[in-house]
Amino acid sequence: MQNPARAADRDFILASVHELLVETGEDWDRCTHRLRVLGRADTQGLFRAGHHCRPGDPYGPLLHAWTVLQNTYPCQDTATLHGLEEACLRSADLLPAHPAPWVTLLGLRRRLRRPVLEVFRVWEEAVRRDPWHREAYRQMLRYLSPDECGSKSAALDFVESARARMPANAPAAGLYLAVQTDLYHQALAQQGVHAILARQLWETHSARRALEHGVALWTDPDFLVHVAGPADLNMLAYALVEARRAKQAAEVFRLLDGTVSPWPWRFHGDPVDKFRYWQDLLL
């Protein structure tokens, strides 16, 4: 029998989390950001329990899904993922204008390696509700990468198509620099001559353009106002470090003022240690 005090604590936490998500209103990007952060933090299975004990809460399945997607979790079998797919579709019925159920479903179908047309249909539902939703574009980019179900050309074509239409300060504005960073990491991971020549990727016309665009616009403190703006600035600082543009990287580190995001620093080990090393060296 469940301890009544523990059940009350769980219900209080779940109600508080629900309010935290509801209060984002129509800031869809912020809501999805909170779902991801909360899901990553739930290592005790609280949201799995909440998904079952609060069946009318449309955010419950989304929290559970992000927990499964981001943690080393005991229930990541195909049946669990299929069940969460159905739950996300029920959340979409309850939140018809919200992209978060579709972005969450996109993450699940990416994990299941579903066919590209099926995945694109889910992505289209998300961006129909929020045209420049950061997580929707990042999930699609990862799916189209050569590490998953796509190729280098598929990822670049997707990014080029989006960049031609995207406002410079959209939440997904970091997409072009993200694909350049992914290509750099893929080259490093191959070792041998590919790893030795990897840094030359930052000297290509497309990479230089992405870096110069970031330095010119993103270093204005009022430019990147979306919730993951600091994560995009971390990506820019990292890319400038790897491209050996120390003076420009120092400018971004000053703007970040010690705010660290795990990616892309974690590619080289502990992200905080890597960030602090370059911050201390450059500043």
What gap in Å lies between CA 174 and CA 180, rounded to an integer? 10
CA distance 48 to 63: 8
Find how far residue 59's CA is from the centre of its chain.
Answer: 18
* Tokens describing residue 33: 């950001």
Query: What pLDDT sits at residue 16?
Result: 85
Task: Report whether 124 contacts 158 (CB < 8 A).
Answer: no
Mean pLDDT within 171-188: 93
Q: Token match 């960073």: residue?
A: 181
Residue 43's Cβ-count burial label (10 Å; 0-12, 13-18, 19+) is exposed
Read off the pLDDT of each residue in 4-12 and give the average, rounded to a whole number.
66
Q: How many residues does the chain have?
A: 283
Helix, coil or strand: residue 189: helix
Per-residue pLDDT tens over the stretch 237-277 = 999 999 999 999 999 999 999 999 999 999 999 999 999 99
What tokens appear for 18 in the block? 């629900």
Residue with the two structure tokens 């018809």? 96
> Lowest-pLDDT range, 11-15, 27-31, 130-134?
11-15
